[in-house]
Amino acid sequence: MASTTQPRRKVRERREDVRRRVLRTAAEMMADGTPYTELPVQRIAERAQVARSTFYLHFPDKSRLLIALAEEAVEALFGEAVIWWRADHADGMDGVAHAMRQMIAAYREHRRVLRALGEVAGYDPDVADFWRRRMRGFTEVVQERLDAELRAGTVDPEMDAATTARVLIWTVERTISAHCHHDEGGGDERTARTLARTIWLTVYGVPPAPPVRDRVS
């Protein structure tokens, strides 16, 4: 009986090729200036040289296409920050500043997809669920580090690790998104350094001493 391994491999390779072509085509069309919400499936399929029915075999709807595009973009956005949170922090504030520079650069590279992700997540439950899950995953990385610092006694013992992690993740993401939307790049370094200072002081800063009250004689 002849082996079916090679035919199956070829089918799998063809499917992966079609998927890559569709994703690349959608990204190129967005790079040309067409907003994601204005990309018709038919135009994407025609430019990718696949049948409309073939498109739907890989992506049941445009939400699934956006999620597939966003996987790489979101990973690139938070990748360097995850590395920093898991490092030893021996390089102090310079290390987190480097991570912020990388996040800003990644956002600029994938800005069209990330903007579409934020827009569509506002009304599409599948895209919103994807975005929440990914943000929750990155928040858990930060919380794990904060919990470890609390156990080591290197941060304020009154810190609420879970809430602090959420505030930091959303502050960074929203700040970079707004910054890249309104700034062409001239303020990137200032923004990176300011975010770095905010993160560092939030985690490792010493809380202010309580005010001294005058004794009543």
Query: 1-59 belongs to which homologous superfamily?
Result: Homeodomain-like (1.10.10.60)
Q: Which CATH class name applies to 62-204?
A: mainly alpha
Question: 112-122 b/e with 16+ CB inside 10 Å = b?
Answer: bbbbbbeebbe
pLDDT of residue 172: 97
- Contact at 8 Å (CB) between 161 and 143? yes
Q: Which two tokens stand for residue 95?
A: 């290390």
Phi and psi, residue 89, nearest 5°: 65, 25
Percent of the chain, pLDDT > 90? 83
pLDDT band, very low/low/confident/very high, at 6 (cuts 50, 70, 90): low
Nearest to 162 by CA among 174, 144, 148: 144
Q: Are 105 and 185 in contact (CB under 8 A)?
A: no
| Mean pLDDT value across residues 174-182 | 96
What's the pTM value of the predicted model, to 2 decimals? 0.86
- The token pair that represents 86 in the structure block: 């898991």
The string of pLDDT tens digits covering residues 79-93 is: 999 999 999 999 999
Predicted confidence band of residue 206 (pLDDT cuts 50, 70, 90):
confident
Do 62-204 and 1-59 fall under one CATH topology?
Answer: no
The better pLDDT of the pair 9, 141 is held by 141
Give the tokens for residue 150.
């609390």
pLDDT, average across residues 185-194? 97
Domain boundaries, the chain: 1-59, 62-204
At 38-82, the pLDDT tens digits run: 999 999 999 999 999 999 999 999 999 999 999 999 999 999 999
